[in-house]
Structure 1
Amino acid sequence: MKELQKYDIQISSLENKSYEFDFESGDAFFEALEQELIQHGSFKTHLVLTKSSSMILLNFHIHGTVELICDRSLDSFDEPLDIQEQLFLKYADHAEELTDEIELILWDTQQINIARYLFDFIVLSLPMKKLHPRFREEEANEDEEQEGKVVYRSEPSAENPDDETSEPPIDPRWEALRKLNNN
């Protein structure tokens, strides 16, 4: 918990203008969050906080690396980070997360902790398929090879070109019922 306290920003004492903050984070950051997705990494964050009477604008620039495990080989590798995100904290009578970029905070909020925002931005920037860099070129080549292939075709099959206009055979039981209906 003590590790995450360095990400506290006292907003109640700030005047309505822009401020800049710099944070350096390492393995202790990921351990303090008590999660299992990322265990190791180091990154630097440059935060520009712009306070006004009705809201706070946070502009994040995060760069560094995190250690991931390859989905294919189970080898660990460093994934580079270069993230630019923006977050709006609007003052309101209740706290609520409206969207990914807009969050309502109480008028009497004294401080904010940006650790959760940093972790969320990092996790959302990670690739869905975690591939070691040595497999990425191979994967890109496979995608290029499949580019010219047809996956779905709505044209009739070439097996029976004469059958395009003929109807499929009707079950004799349905045919008998149709005759009853026509009487």
Structure 2
Amino acid sequence: MHTDLYKVNLRSLSEGDHELHWVLGDDYFQHLGAEDFTSGEVYVDVYIHHIGGVFSLELEYDGYVGTTCDRCLDPLELDVYTERELVVKFGDEHREESEKLLIIPEQDGVLDLTWTMYEDIVLSLPMQRMHEEGECNEDMMRAYSKVAADEPQPQQQEIVRDEDGIDERWAALKQLKQE
């Protein structure tokens, strides 16, 4: 994968509207070392509106990523559909002012969207990545339910109290207090 593919030279953009379109495939996720994803195909549309020294970007994502189910560990495809707005301005150094405002060095003038797109995809996915109820690997679910049922339940320990009604486990502290 050519990493410069997702870099946008903002200094060379004329004022007005611009569009970029990419397909993030398996090679993109593998290049980033994205261990969470085994595959993917996400279409990304980037719309840039440039006026003065301000670049308003709208990023739209549509596709899927392949991962593993947190419950049964079988392969799972998750839909990706999200949008993000980002404003980019020139400044002295690279700074993220907020999740919507990014400052990049004017001397460089290049915006690298490689990690931004990856983060947007990750944040669009649910925390628990699981098949719909009843769609998990039946063998794995049977094995899991057997192990889950065999787990020992914590037993309530009977509390023994002394003549003052104090828990005997604290008797040593009571003795220290009296001394």
Aligned residue identity for 2:78: E
1:21 paired with 2:20, answer yes
Aligned residue identity for 1:29: Y
* Identity across matched positions, percent: 23
Q: Which residue of 2 aligns with 1:88?
A: 87
Q: Which residue of 2 aligns with 1:44?
A: 43
Structure 2 residue runs of 5 or longer lacking an equivalent are 136-165, 167-179
RMSD between superposed Cα atoms in Å: 2.0
Aligned residue identity for 1:93: D
Structure 1: distance between partners of 2:23 and 2:74: 26
Aligned length: 138
Aligned residue identity for 2:113: I
CA contact (8 A) 1:3 1:32 kept: no
Higher mean C-alpha deviation, range 118-127 or range 102-111: 102-111
Structure 2: distance between partners of 1:110 and 1:135: 51
Moved segments of 4+, more than 6 Å: none
Structure 2: distance between partners of 1:104 and 1:48: 18
Residue by residue over 1:138-171, the C-alpha shift from the partner in whole angstroms, topping out at 9 and shown as x without a partner, is xxxxxxxxxxxxxxxxxxxxxxxxxxxxxxxxx9
Residue by residue over 1:48-103, the C-alpha shift from the partner in whole angstroms, topping out at 9 and shown as x without a partner, is 01122222111011100001211111111110111111111122222211111111
Q: TM-score, length-normalised on structure 2?
A: 0.70
Structure 1: distance between partners of 2:54 and 2:38: 34
Structure 1: distance between partners of 2:89 and 2:8: 16
1:126 paired with 2:118, answer no
Q: Which residue of 2 aligns with 1:11?
A: 10
Aligned residue identity for 2:85: Q
Residue by residue over 1:1-39, the C-alpha shift from the partner in whole angstroms, topping out at 9 and shown as x without a partner, is x43221122221111211011111200000111231223
